[in-house]
Amino acid sequence: AQRVTQPEKLLSVFKGAPVELKCNYSYSGSPELFWYVQYSRQRLQLLLRHISRESIKGFTADLNKGETSFHLKKPFAQEEDSAMYYCALTPSTGFQKLVFGTGTRLLVSP
């Protein structure tokens, strides 16, 4: 079974502070992991994917297979980063469906 856990429902930080949104997964095979984001009044959209090793809007995420984690990090949070963030998983053997975590709401205060 595939399972994604995001332990924090809400993460509140001040502008300029570092941010880390936690994501842990449970999957017996090799996973591909993603972060999706939903800004206020916007559609859910892809933020970044592990396979691309990318940095988007200053966010990065590293896959740690030993700890089965894919935490999302940003060194200096901005107010416009306030949103709902979802971690998601699909087997690396082939994309059939995405399994999402429960989401973390990030609130960045001025």
Partner 1 sequence: DADVTQTPRNRITKTGKRIMLECSQTKGHDRMYWYRQDPGLGLRLIYYSFDVKDINKGEISDGYSVSRQAQAKFSLSLESAIPNQTALYFCATKDSDSGIAGELFFGEGSRLTVL
Site residues for partner 1 per CB under 8 A: 6, 9, 32, 36, 43-46, 49, 51-52, 86, 90, 92, 94-103
State which residue, 22 or 49, has the beta carbon closest to partner 1. Answer: 49
Strands 104-109 and 10-14: parallel
Residue 2 Cβ, how far from partner 1 at the closest point, in Å?
A: 10
Strand partners, 64: 69
Count Cα neighbours of 30 within 13 Å in the Cβ-side half-sphere: 5
State which residue, 28 or 52, has the beta carbon closest to partner 1. Answer: 52
State which residue, 13 or 84, has the beta carbon closest to partner 1. Answer: 84
State which residue, 45 or 64, has the beta carbon closest to partner 1. Answer: 45
Residue the block writes with tokens 């896959």: 63
- Give the C-alpha separation, 88 to 32, whole Å: 8
* Number of helices and strands in the chain (H, E): 0, 11
Number of residues assigned to the chain: 110
Residue 110 Cβ, how far from partner 1 at the closest point, in Å?
A: 26
Residue 26 Cβ, how far from partner 1 at the closest point, in Å?
A: 14
